[in-house]
């Protein structure tokens, strides 16, 4: 156990965010340095429970009490090894994960939970700084037995599958249609949540281990489904759930209305190019974001940094409660009112509101929305009569989630089957209906989280290794039907 009295004597602390008026002038991450001394005391709050529910809260099964103890006793190198035993990319989850482990922390029943996510990110920051994250090349015997595997898509699921399979000795080629690897980590998630240098540093490690990346190639177009099946012993589909949900109301076709994933990639590319003006910019605009989730919050923080005149975020659901409701008891990850860094920076949040139609100016550009208050009914949310009002907005960003993987092209040509939710169907070993073709991440699970994508990538890699070699020693943290604690 870390500090036997730590949970009694040390209050929870997490790093401060940089002042709002400073951080909205740049794109750097919002958090300040925390410091090793303070972090060791935070790790010391862990009670090393007999049944560590945090393990169950984390889809990767991260060995949280073990690394808390190692950090508390100052053995950071061993902590980094234990962390990497279950997580290929703790620098991603340590910055971006909503930390369901903390919702499941036993200390959280009676006090504030252990700052698990902060301990995770500090361990990996230290490990990179100390040079404790070298490339891990496969053994010659494993290489000799390895076979050719194609991974389609380079988001967290594809990267995790590729790293596991490369380390197991297989010759892995990652096909990515974008110009650089990373999936949503690179072109969805803004720099202020995770600076891309963390992604690039991990990709250098993967290249040194032997993973090959072929970017700017769309599987199903530049390389056909038949070619993939002929040239590779196995194919892993990790192509995400990229079909965005639309809003079929009058005026939806107007200029100035864009999907979040049209807007955010342009913004990320502009930042990468030295903060140039993107083709879709919020500068001087009255921005309305439809969708109150994390993607909407990413649009909000981006629009504020681009110099929006105003930002309003609409959500159809009612405002969540401030505290854990009775029907979402510990150790579940409850839907409560959360204030992300972007919400601190400005904008208005409007709940229980639904867009009825868009208004146009005389050039055909959106100039506003008619919104109505909604109330729940057996058939969904219905407008409250007489509650319609106009809201000005000349840039509208749709952030209402995704309906599944893109079917035309690769998936249709491969002939994979889909499940009832529109995702690529798979069996208990992540195998699709097509022999030798596996699926991992959002393409099989539906829109989810980075931690689930990494867990799926690891499990799918184990299944591929077993398929190719007859057995496997790769870990499989989850099955395809695993779900968050409910
Ligand atoms: C804006 C936004 C912000 C988010 N923020 C967070 C967050 O803070 N924390 C969190 O946990 N989760 C977040 N998520 C969710 C998380 O990013 C996803 O769950 C995760 O990235 C899914 O990983 P994946 O590898 O399955 O797919 P993706 O990351 O979507 O990667 C799929 C890749 O496949 C490529 N591809 C698709 N088809 C082809 C093809 N035919 N040929 C070649 N390449 C192809 C795509 O270009 C893409 O690069 C966010 C999602 C969005 C949209
Ligand atoms: S990956 Fe997420 S759930 Fe797992 S330990 Fe880290 S913050 Fe917690």
Please return the burial class of 279, using the count of CB atoms within 10 Å of its CB with bins 0-12, 13-18 and 19+. Answer: exposed
Q: Which of 87, 179, 450 is the best mutation target for the ligand 1 pocket, counting ligand atoms within 8 Å of the beta carbon and taking the most?
A: 450
Is the shortest distance between the CB of 281 and ligand 1 below 6 Å?
no
Does 449 sit in the ligand 1 pocket, CB within 6 Å?
yes
What's the first-to-final CA gap in the chain, in angstroms?
A: 28
- 159 CB less than 6 Å from ligand 1? no
For ligand 1, atom 8, the nearest C-alpha belongs to 96
Q: Give the H/E segment covering residue 410.
A: helix 410-414
Tell the residue nearest (CA) to atom 21 of ligand 1.
184
Closest ligand 2 atom, CA of 97?
Answer: 2
How far does residue 98's CA lie from ligand 2's centre (Å)? Answer: 8
Q: Coil, helix or strand for 123?
A: helix
CA of 402 to the centre of ligand 1 (A): 11
Provide CB contacts within 8 A for 450, sequence distance 6+.
Answer: 92, 93, 96, 97, 156, 185
- For residue 304 and ligand 1, the question of a CB distance below 6 A is answered with no
Share of the chain above pLDDT 90, in %: 97
The enclosing H or E element of 476 equals none
Count each helix (H run) and each strand (E run) in the chain, helices first.
Answer: 20, 16
Mean pLDDT of 8-23: 97
Q: Indicate the pLDDT class of residue 118, thresholds 50, 70 and 90.
A: very high
Closest ligand 1 atom to residue 220 Cα is 41
Please, what is the average pLDDT of the chain? 97
Cis peptide bond N-terminal to 331, omega within 30 = yes
CA 270/CA 282 separation, integer angstroms:
13
Pocket test for ligand 2, best of 42, 60, 449 (most atoms within 8 A of CB): 60
Atom of ligand 1 nearest to the CA of 159: 25
Q: Closest residue (by CA) to atom 4 of ligand 2?
A: 58
Give the residue, out of 105, 117, 477, with the most ligand 2 atoms within 8 A of its beta carbon, to mutate for a pocket test. 117
**Ligand 2 pocket check: which of 120, 124, 193 to mutate, most ligand atoms within 8 Å of Cβ?**
120
Give residue-wise pLDDT tens across range 164-184.
999 999 999 999 999 999 999
CA–CA gap between residue 473 and residue 476 (Å, rounded): 9
Q: Is 298 in the pocket of ligand 1 (CB under 6 A)?
A: yes
Q: How far, in Å, from the CA of 125 to the mean position of ligand 2?
A: 15
φ/ψ of 451, rounded to 5, equals -65, -35
Shortest-distance Cα residue to atom 1 of ligand 2: 93
Atom of ligand 1 nearest to the CA of 409: 41
Cβ neighbours of residue 71 closer than 8 Å, sequence gap 6 or more: 2, 39, 40, 43, 79, 119, 122, 123
Residue 255: pLDDT above 80? yes
Q: What would the pLDDT profile of 124-141 be if each residue is shown by its tens digit?
A: 999 999 999 999 999 999
CA distances to 51, 175, 352 from 113, in Å: 15, 40, 31
Quick one: pLDDT band at residue 2, thresholds 50, 70, 90? confident
Q: Which residue has the tokens 């002939």?
A: 415
How far is Cα 30 from Cα 24, in angstroms, rounded to an integer? 9
Query: Is the CB of 57 inside a 6 Å radius of any atom of ligand 1?
Result: no
How many angstroms separate the alpha carbon of residue 136 from the centre of ligand 2?
A: 23
- pLDDT at residue 35 in the model: 87
100 Cβ below 6 A of ligand 1: no
276 DSSP 8-state letter: P
Q: What is the pLDDT of residues 328-383, one digit of tens each?
A: 999 999 999 999 999 999 999 999 999 999 999 999 999 999 999 999 999 899 99
pLDDT at 3: 85
pLDDT band at 162; cut points 50, 70, 90: very high
Q: What is the pTM assigned to this prediction? A: 0.98
- Which residues contact ligand 2 via a Cβ below 6 A? 57-58, 60, 62, 64, 93, 97, 99-101, 116-117, 120, 451
**Per residue in 414-471, pLDDT tens?**
999 999 999 999 999 999 999 999 999 999 999 999 999 999 999 999 999 999 999 9
Cβ of 199 less than 6 Å from ligand 1: no
Confidence class for position 101, pLDDT limits 50, 70, 90: very high
Query: Cβ(183) to ligand 1 under 6 A?
Result: yes
Distance 190 CA to ligand 1 centre (A): 13
Residue 215, Cα to own-chain centre: how many angstroms? 21
Domains of the chain are 6-130 (1.10.1060.10), 140-242+403-469 (3.50.50.60), 246-400 (3.50.50.60)
Cβ burial, residue 226 (10 Å; 0-12/13-18/19+)? exposed
């Amino acid at each position: 156990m870390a500090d036997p009295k730590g949970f009694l004597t040390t209050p929870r602390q997490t790093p401060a965010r940089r002042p709002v008026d400073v951080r909205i002038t740049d794109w750097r991450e919002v958090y300040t340095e925390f410091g090793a001394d303070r972090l060791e005391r935070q790790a010391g709050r862990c009670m090393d429970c007999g049944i560590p529910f945090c393990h169950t809260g984390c889809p990767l099964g991260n060995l949280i009490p073990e690394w808390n103890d190692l950090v508390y006793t100052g053995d950071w190198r061993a902590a980094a090894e234990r962390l990497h035993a279950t997580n290929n990319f703790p620098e991603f989850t340590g910055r971006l994960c909503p930390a369901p482990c903390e919702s499941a922390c036993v200390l959280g029943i009676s006090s504030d939970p252990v700052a698990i996510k902060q301990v995770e990110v500090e361990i990996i920051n230290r490990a990179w700084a100390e040079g404790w994250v070298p490339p891990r090349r496969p053994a010659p015997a494993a290489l000799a037995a390895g076979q050719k595997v194609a991974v389609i898509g380079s988001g967290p699921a594809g990267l995790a599958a590729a790293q596991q399979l490369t380390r197991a000795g297989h010759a892995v080629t990652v096909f990515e249609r974008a110009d650089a690897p990373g999936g949503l980590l690179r072109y969805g998630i803004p720099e202020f949540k995770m600076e891309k240098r963390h992604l690039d540093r991990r990709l250098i490690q993967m290249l040194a281990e032997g993973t090959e990346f072929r970017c700017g190639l769309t599987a199903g177009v530049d390389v056909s489904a038949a070619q993939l099946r002929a040239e590779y012993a196995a194919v892993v589909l990790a192509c995400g759930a990229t079909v965005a949900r639309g809003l079929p109301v009058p005026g939806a076709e107007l200029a100035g209305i864009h999907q979040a994933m049209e807007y955010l990639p342009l913004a990320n590319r502009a930042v990468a190019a030295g903060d140039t003006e993107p083709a879709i910019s919020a500068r001087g605009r009255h921005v309305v974001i439809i969708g109150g989730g994390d993607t909407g919050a990413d649009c909000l923080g981006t629009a504020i940094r681009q110099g929006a005149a105003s930002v309003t975020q609409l959500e159809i659901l009612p405002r969540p409660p401030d505290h854990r409701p009775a029907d979402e008891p510990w150790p579940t990850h409850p839907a409560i009112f959360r204030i992300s860094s972007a919400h601190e920076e400005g904008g208005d949040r409007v709940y229980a509101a639904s867009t009825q139609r868009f208004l146009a100016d005389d050039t055909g550009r959106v100039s506003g929305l008619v919104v109505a208050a909604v109330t729940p009914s057996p058939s969904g949310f219905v407008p409250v009569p007489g509650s319609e009002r106009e809201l000005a907005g000349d840039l509208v960003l749709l952030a209402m989630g995704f309906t599944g993987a893109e079917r035309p092209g690769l998936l249709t040509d491969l002939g994979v089957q889909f499940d009832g939710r529109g995702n690529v169907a798979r069996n208990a070993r992540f195998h699709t209906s097509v022999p030798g073709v596996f699926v991992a991440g959002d393409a099989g699970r539906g829109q989810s989280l980075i931690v689930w994508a990494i867990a799926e990538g690891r499990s799918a890699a184990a299944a591929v290794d077993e398929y190719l070699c007859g057995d496997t020693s790769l870990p499989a943290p989850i099955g395809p039907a695993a779900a968050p604690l409910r």
